[in-house]
Amino acid sequence: MRIYKAKNYEDMSRKAANIISAQVIMKPDCVLGLATGSTPLGAYRNLVEWYEKGDLDFSEVVTVNLDEYKGLTRENPQSYYYFMNENLFSKVNIDKDRTFLPDGTEPDSNTACLKYNKILKGVGAPDLQLLGLGHNGHIGFNEPAEHFSTETHCITLSEQTIKANARFFENEEEVPRQAYTMGIKTIMSARMILLVVSGEAKADIVKTAFYGPITPQVPASILQLHPNVVLVADEAALSKW
Ligand code: F6R
């Protein structure tokens, strides 16, 4: 594992964006696994800026996102499709037909998951998978569980995740209780994992994930077994390291 210690959120974002842009430059038709949430926002802003400067070309890039809330349409401002479109897709020259997320509007979980698995198999393993880290150690929406998940599945969000994500909604009641998420096996199939972590509130969990036992109770702990993990975290997140 390589660790890049950033001074602050901006520095973390720039370092992460540099790694993503290196991937796009070295392999213009790469598959990028993408994440939503507040942590990657700064990295996306940098990528957009560098694209506008003419330094980056996304025309051949394929993207697969980690997850989507069950029940939300693409037009819903809280959906992850909307997030990706607002923060990246609509601002760069990516071909929208090459951007994939689970279909939140598919009410049948089995159908939604099979459909997304088929897409993931079709595009192949991500060259780079960007991940954020949940306060309970979740990656994607893979919540603490009895065993590690494999492929795309429907998950019931934990109380802690509902509370953490309520900040994006009018109130806690509005947070969907279920989501479709890429499974751990698929995440682990990525050639490179780029984990971004920021802030003191994540200091305990980032330490637990990498120094604690590998257990499905801390889903991110599985990353200890991945041969090519890059952790980009700011000083606050690494304060207990
Ligand atoms: C988002 C995702 C989640 C977030 C995690 C951290 O697509 O899959 O695992 O990465 O909840 O979220 P933030 O960055 O908002 O702290």
Instruction: For each of the domains in the chain, give its residue range(s) and CATH number, in order of start.
Output: 2-234 (3.40.50.1360)
d(CA 89, CA 83): 9
From the first residue on, what is the mean pLDDT of each consecutive set of 10 residues in the chain (241 residues)? 98 98 98 97 98 98 98 96 98 98 97 98 98 97 95 94 91 95 98 98 98 98 98 98 91
Report the length, in residues, of the chain. 241
189 Cα to the center of ligand 1, angstroms: 19
Question: What 3-state DSSP class applies to 89?
Answer: helix
Q: Considering the entire predicted model, what is its pTM? A: 0.97
Q: Do the Cβ atoms of 66 and 182 come closer than 8 Å? A: yes
**What is the Cα Rg of the chain in Å?**
17
pLDDT confidence of residue 119: 98
pLDDT confidence of residue 127: 98
Q: Which atom of ligand 1 is nearest to the CA of 181?
A: 8
137 Cα to the center of ligand 1, angstroms: 10
Which whole-number Å values give the CA distances from 175 to 20, 56, 183, 214, in the listed order? 30, 35, 21, 30
Q: Which atom of ligand 1 is nearest to the CA of 131?
A: 10
67 Cα to the center of ligand 1, angstroms: 10
Q: Which are the contacts of 138, defined by CB distance < 8 A and separation ≥ 6?
A: 144, 158, 161, 219, 220
